[in-house]
Amino acid sequence: MLAMQRQSWEQGVAAQAALDLGRDDLVVLLAEAAVARQAPDGRLGDVGENGAVNGAACGEAVLAAFGRTGKAVFAEAARKQLAWLESGAERAEDGTLFHLTDSREIWADTVYMVVPFLAVSGRVELAWQQIEGHRRRLCHDGVYSASTVRSARWGAASGWVVAAIARTLRITPDFPDRHRLAVHAREVLDAALAFRRPDGLFNDVLDDPATFREANAAQMFAYAALTGAADGWLPSVYVETGRDLLAAAARCVDGSGVVRDVAGSPGFDRPGTSTEAQAFAILAAVAQTPRDLRRFDPVG
């Protein structure tokens, strides 16, 4: 994972994997790099992207780095990222954030990029605004379309949403109306699972068998299922579901530990590899470890 070229959101997901592993040393280093690349407008980990929200995926790690080091640079960086989401980024009339800086597109990915960070920052109202705005526009028959300009029922679109909810409920146990959020995650997870292939994975577009076999959606769903069961908002039967999903994805791991047959960087429109797939392999693997054997502390 750390050997791969990363964009802003992948820096964030990699840092979350380090957080869940209890690797504070890596968390601080990954957060430091995201701060070094912070754009003047507040977007963390900027590498010349046109993403309006992706850098917020680094926010949790930056807050954690502040908690572990006490260095004001991390607190200030998190404040700037939060201010961008609160008032700097362009949004629809109902407050739903646009995913890109140069268009008015709304993407399912945004839910993962911003909701956990908003929740751990105490901006619950804004987090709910994003959840509801994206659900109204993109969720149909239980699963998510990729975006407002791409109606395809991309597996990772639903994966980003259920993973976002699982992470939000994990790092903010007092999240208001958490039951309603958990119910939505279960609805999406169950609807997506109906599209599993005989090999246990999914097609890139869930309901289009002509699209390529894709393994990272299975890892995302595994992470959500295992986390939800561990935290009690999913029944214990989802432990077996999560383990089975993770086992199916593990068959795509090569001898170097690289997860193959995922939507590949940089375009994510064909089979390949990606940092986010490596990160979700770790996140899901840690999620199936008994809680008393793990270290998890989102902000130190």
Q: What is the pLDDT of residue 289?
A: 76
Q: What is the pLDDT of residue 300?
A: 47
Structure tokens at 95: 């407050």
Q: Over range 269-285, report the average pLDDT.
A: 96
| Residue 175 phi, psi (nearest 5) | -55, 125
Q: What is the DSSP string of 5-38?
A: ---HHHHHHHHHHHHHHT-HHHHHHHHHHHHHT-
- pLDDT band (50, 70, 90) for residue 288: confident
Q: Are 36 and 29 in contact (CB under 8 A)?
A: no
Over the chain, what is the mean pLDDT? 95
Assess whether pLDDT exceeds 50 at residue 293.
no
Q: In sequence order, which ranges of the chain are alpha helices (DSSP H)?
A: 8-21, 24-36, 59-69, 72-83, 109-120, 124-138, 155-171, 178-193, 216-231, 237-250, 275-287
State the Cα–Cα distance between residues 125 and 94, nearest whole angstrom: 13
State the Cα–Cα distance between residues 274 and 271, nearest whole angstrom: 10
> Quick one: what percent of the chain has pLDDT higher than 70?
96
Q: Which of 214, 8, 4, 1 is nearest to 109 (CA)?
A: 8
Assess whether pLDDT exceeds 60 at residue 295.
no
Q: Are 206 and 153 in contact (CB under 8 A)?
A: yes
Question: Across the chain, which distance is largest between two alpha carbons, in Å?
Answer: 51
Which range is least confidently modeled, 117-121, 208-212, 267-271?
Answer: 267-271
Structure tokens at 11: 């820096």
Q: Which amino acid is at 8?
A: S
Query: pTM for the full model?
Result: 0.95
Q: What is the DSSP string of 207-260?
A: T-TTSPEESHHHHHHHHHHHHHHHHTSS-THHHHHHHHHHHHHHTTB-TTS-B-
Q: Which amino acid is at 56?
A: A
Q: Which residues, in sequence order, are bridge partners of residue 214?
A: 202
Burial class (CB in 10 A: 0-12, 13-18, 19+), 226: buried
pLDDT tens, residue by residue, 65-120: 999 999 999 999 999 999 999 999 999 999 999 999 999 999 999 999 999 999 99
Q: What is the pLDDT of residue 290?
A: 58
pLDDT tens, residue by residue, 25-41: 999 999 999 999 999 99
Q: Over range 55-72, report the average pLDDT.
A: 98
Assess whether pLDDT exceeds 70 at residue 292.
no
Give one word for 177, left, alpha or beta, with left for phi > 0 and alpha for psi -120 to 50.
left
State the Cα–Cα distance between residues 33 and 28, nearest whole angstrom: 9
- pLDDT band (50, 70, 90) for residue 296: very low
> Quick one: what percent of the chain has pLDDT higher than 90?
95
Domain topology for 8-291: Glycosyltransferase (1.50.10)
Q: What is the pLDDT of residue 291?
A: 54
- pLDDT band (50, 70, 90) for residue 219: very high
- Calculate the CA dihedral of residues 82, 86, 88, 92 and round it to 10 degrees: 140
Q: Over range 220-240, report the average pLDDT.
A: 97
